[in-house]
Amino acid sequence: MNPLSGIRVVDMTAFLAAPTVARLLGEWGADVIKVEAPKGDPGRTQGAVFGTPYTDDENLGFDMSNMNKRFMTLDLRVESGRDVMDRLLADADVFLTSTRVKSLEKLGYDFDSLHERFPRLVMAQVLGFGARGPLKDAAGFDMTACMSRGGVLGTTVNKGSRPMLPPNGYGDFQVSFVLASGILAALLAREKTGNGDYVTTSLFHSGVFMLNTAMISAQYGSPYPKDRREVINPFNNTYIAGDGRLVTMCAPEYDRDFDKVMTLVGRQDLAGDQRYNNCDALNASGLNGEVVDILDEALATCPRQHWLDLFLANDVPIEACQVPTDIYDDEQAWANDVLRKVTCRSGAERMIPTNPVRFQSQGDPELRQISAQGSDTEAILAELGYSADEARSILDSRGAVATTPRM
């Protein structure tokens, strides 16, 4: 069973964050109609930035945010295009957009205008910096609004070095789940009240929320960024194994696990050492760095797999710091449908990450790859009740466009 079967979503979004919201809803069974302007979603050609192909025959850079959708092209500057959009919204449950509020107001698709005409419609919007304040109308992107102003890049850097360089969309994909949860809550509330709602999130706010621990602790004298020798718990840190490969330890109960960890790394002589075995005392004396140095030296004596096997056998949380090519071969990923092989229209077999939420009643969701811009325009016009002559008139007026595949 698809949990959102019977829900229709009109998706007027671009790039990554907001389109991915609709992808999630589509995988859960919603009928998602992506409405693009004649120039198309710029996300269709972002493969040029990602280093991936971007034709209609192979475009995983667009698939990752736009699978499980149908594609319609409307020109909302043309009256007939707006008429079609109105019919779509009249029959929709959710209107999802990343268009800026000022532009929506000019078109008459802001929440107040839509709510008056379609009171049951849930409107959802990804904003850059929020609905209020000096930047409420500013353009926001993952790297600027979420990762930079939201504090992620400045906080996660090892103090004194350059920030990490995250892959495109790292924050966008987190934001998509934030807004998807709000949409589902609004749909549930509508069942009780009969009224739709206006659901928003911003890239900036979501970035700050993901840094909750850092935001709270900084006001108590534990500011970020930190040097890795300054971490409060040395058992929550990254280390380089003897083969030069990275591991991450995450043992939150430092006091309990101190003797065990020291024994595992061959430093039994430090078991019970009161200089190091209590986290509060360790931080009060400023000896955190000494424990990090001890672990650096010890873990450099053996290859990564040795430490993974040893620590996991003794129930101490540790993991390899994997890169995408490692995950391609990770049996845990394949056992849990974390990655899915897809055959592109080009004939190439590729891999793509799947939606991490699973419903037992649904099983592993179907993945439908993208199609050409406007490829479903004519079929959707017919579904909306337009006769063949009316549809032809709309197409002739360029209010709607049925486009051909880009090869």
The span from the CA of 208 to the CA of 157, in Å, is: 16
* Bridge-based pairing state of the strands 236-240 and 400-401: unpaired
Instruction: Please name the helix (run of DSSP H) or strand (run of DSSP E) that holds residue 117, with its range, or none.
Output: helix 111-117
Nearest by Cα to 238 from 296, 170, 164, 161: 296
Active site residue 83: no
How many C-beta atoms surround the C-beta of residue 371 within 10 A?
Answer: 15
Pick the catalytic residue from 11, 63, 142, 172.
172
Return the structure tokens found at 309: 């096997």
The span from the CA of 405 to the CA of 263, in Å, is: 63
Q: What share of the chain is helix, strand, coil (3-state, %, to 5)?
A: 45, 15, 45
| Strands, sheet with 236-240, edge to edge from the N-terminal-most edge strand | 236-240, 246-250, 318-320
Return the structure tokens found at 283: 């931080």
Let me know: does 339 contact 328? Beta carbons within 8 Å: yes
In sequence order, the β-bridge partners of residue 157 are none
C-alpha torsion angle, residues 253, 257, 261, 263 (rounded to 10): 170
- Residue carrying structure tokens 């993208």: 370
The span from the CA of 100 to the CA of 14, in Å, is: 11
Is residue 124 classed exposed, middle or buried when 0-12, 13-18 and 19+ CB atoms within 10 A define those classes?
A: buried
The span from the CA of 402 to the CA of 197, in Å, is: 32
- Residue carrying structure tokens 């400023």: 286
3 state SS of 46:
coil
| Phi/psi of residue 4, nearest 5 degrees | -105, 20
Amino acid at 143: M
For the annotated catalytic residues, the residue numbers are: 172
